[in-house]
Amino acid sequence: MNDAKMTIRLPVAELEFAKSYARRSGVSLTALISRYLARLQSVTEGELPAEIRDIAGIVPPKVDARAEYHAHRARKS
């Protein structure tokens, strides 16, 4: 993979948030931005996000998701 350098301008508060978030997540700011851009690219290309792929198949195919959703909403009312 070829790397390239880039300079961007952000409001100070947004940059500080991004740095803090990356630090708490145990990744570099570069890795955080790279992962986010890769996720955006996969979503815009029609691929399911990793979070959805991870849970796909958990609900058995015989479950009527629409009926379950409506039943859930009715119970909450």
Residue 45 confidence (pLDDT):
67
Q: Which domain does 17 fall in, by range?
A: 12-76
Domain membership of residue 7 (yes or no) is no
In angstroms, the first-to-last Cα distance of the chain is: 53
What's the pTM value of the predicted model, to 2 decimals? Answer: 0.54
pLDDT digits (tens, 9 = 90+) for 11-41: 999 999 999 999 999 999 999 999 988 878 8
Q: Which of the four pLDDT bands, split at 50, 70 and 90, describes residue 67?
A: confident
CA neighbours closer than 13 Å in the CB half-sphere of residue 3: 4
Domain membership of residue 67 (yes or no) is yes
How many domains are contained in the chain? 1
Residue 56 confidence (pLDDT):
73
Domain membership of residue 4 (yes or no) is no
Domain membership of residue 70 (yes or no) is yes
Q: What is the mean pLDDT of residues 36-65?
A: 76
Domain membership of residue 5 (yes or no) is no
Domain membership of residue 57 (yes or no) is yes
Could you tell me how many residues make up the chain? 77
Residue 25 confidence (pLDDT):
93
Domain membership of residue 21 (yes or no) is yes
